[in-house]
Amino acid sequence: MTGVADALLRLAALFDRFQVVYAVIGGIAVRAYGIPRATYDVDFTVALPRDRLETVFAAAEEIGYSVLDAYRSGWVDAVANMPLVKLRFYLREKGVDADIFLAETPFQESILRRRQRVETDEVTVWLASPEDVILLKLLANRVRDISDVQDILFTQGQLDEAYMRHWAEELGVLPLLEARLSEMSNDDAFP
């Protein structure tokens, strides 16, 4: 088992133990829904109230994760207006980062309602839906993320475009989504 898969399984088991609803997002989800690619971290969206963070941090340390003092003191980062804490797992002197997004927005709550139990190459976990992974990738909007969106659209075929358009508008990424969907339609027009 790779370090990333081990890190993923440990955290998923911890969330299950504490009855924390979670969905894997990021590169692991892309591997399940798109064209598999290397990823070196794990990303989750979790329904975890901030007052339970300290308990989860202590349990994460017991299974090999480290927690920065800033997070232990109550600080919470944010990416695209989504609250985030980070952990690091060490395996054979290699570090695997874990980004834990706290589901405190309506969009993140929707991600958790739509999550799917999926078996990947190495693990079986709850994943965000392909539509939600696309939306998260559009929010990040890096070159790798746009490539991931194209891969998922190509691999998955028919997706819930109405759902994606609704949230893309709410999140301010509707032009990005429309551009990706248009590219796929144009690709389909060629024999």
Instruction: Note the pLDDT of residue 123.
Output: 64
Query: What values do phi and psi take at 49, rounded to 5?
Result: -60, 145
DSSP strand pairing (82-91 vs 94-102): antiparallel
Residue span of the structural domain in which 108 resides: 3-189
Query: Tokens in use for 135?
Result: 């939306």
Number of residues assigned to the chain:
191
The residue assigned the tokens 């551009």 is: 179
pLDDT at 122: 60
**Interhelix angle 161-171/174-189, nearest 10 degrees:** 150
Nearby residues of 123 by Cβ (< 8 Å), 6 or more positions away? 5, 8, 9, 12
pLDDT tens digits for range 137-185: 999 999 999 999 999 999 998 999 999 999 999 999 999 999 999 998 7
| pLDDT band with cut points at 50, 70 and 90 for residue 94 | confident
Mean pLDDT across the stretch 109-123? 85
* pLDDT tens-digit map of 18-68: 999 999 999 999 988 998 888 889 999 999 999 999 999 999 999 989 999
Query: Three-state SS for 34?
Result: coil
Q: For the chain, how big is the Rg over CA atoms in Å?
A: 17
Residue 36 C-alpha from the chain's centroid: 15
Number of independent structural domains in the chain: 1
d(CA 137, CA 143): 10
CATH code at position 175: 3.30.460.40
Distance CA 70, CA 86 (A): 10
Only one residue has tokens 């969905």, namely 23
Cα of 33 vs its chain's centroid, Å: 12
pLDDT at 1: 47
44 contacts 101 by C-beta, under 8 angstroms: yes
